[in-house]
Amino acid sequence: MHPYDRRRSLAAGVFFLLTFATSIPGALLYGPILTDPHYVVAGPTAPVLAGALLEIALVIANLGTALVLYPVLRRTSPSLALAYVVARVMESALIAVGILSLLAVVTLRENGAASGGTEAAAVVVAQALVALHGWTFLLGPGFVVGLGNGLILGWMLFRAGLVPRGWAVLGMIAGPLVSLSGVAVLLGAYDQVSPWSAVATLPEFVWEAFLGIYLSVRGFRAGSPDATRAPTTVTAATR
């Protein structure tokens, strides 16, 4: 394997592992603001701020996976490689909107917006912002990630043979399951936090965990032509 690609596979694996290290603790730290309707009146701000910092790191890790994988994936299909980058950017943008919505609630809390007889209004505004965060989570990690990180990335890794193809097939199956589950939640079939949603999300969780571990430890499969092909340089003579 070309050293260039080994560095990229290692970086991609580390970024995938960072998505787990930031998203799960971040969601737990958001607990008070997401579950307490009266958080804006007397809720703790430190856990929410810490969760926001972790999610900012999550956005960086998401974009990192796209940036380091794009030069390798485009050897197989430039258009699909670009589609993967776009999906990752879209997912990260939705996460960023969710972060801002919760930080706005923290601002209301710290500025005492619920004082002076305006508690009811502050609670309504805060709940609207929390609802916005819920929708961004559904459309980003709950829908777009299935298309980008699951279906598109799984297909490209399968086609190029960069990872064991059985695992790539899992990605192609897991991605649509996540997206279909997101549509089901959108249509009111079941709640976003439900056993059905958990079952539909589990294969994608396993797929991304595999990518983090495999790419960090093993790298791209050495027998793959796309993995061993050295990166090309576009010169003025070939443009």
How far apart, in whole angstroms, are the C-alpha atoms of residue 65 and residue 215?
11
d(CA 153, CA 95) in angstroms, rounded, equals 20
pTM: 0.87
Write the pLDDT tens digit of every residue in 59-70.
999 999 999 999
Outline where 74-194 has alpha helix (H).
78-110, 119-139, 145, 153-160, 165-186
pLDDT at 234: 38
Cβ-proximal residues to 184 (8 Å cutoff; 6+ apart), any chain: 190, 196
Which segments in the chain show pLDDT lower than 50? 1, 227-228, 230-239
pLDDT for residue 185? 93
Question: Given this model, what pLDDT does residue 117 score?
Answer: 56
Nearest CA-CA partner of 47 in 32, 64, 34: 32
Q: What are phi and psi of 118, to 5 degrees?
A: -110, 20
Give me the pLDDT at residue 43, please: 85
Which of 166, 176, 164, 165 shows the shortest CA–CA distance to 201? 176
Per-residue pLDDT at 73? 94
Beta-carbon neighbour count of residue 113 at 10 Å? Answer: 19
pLDDT at 119: 80
Q: Is the dihedral of CA 116, 117, 120, 125 positive or negative?
A: negative
Which DSSP helix (H) or strand (E) runs through 198? helix 195-217
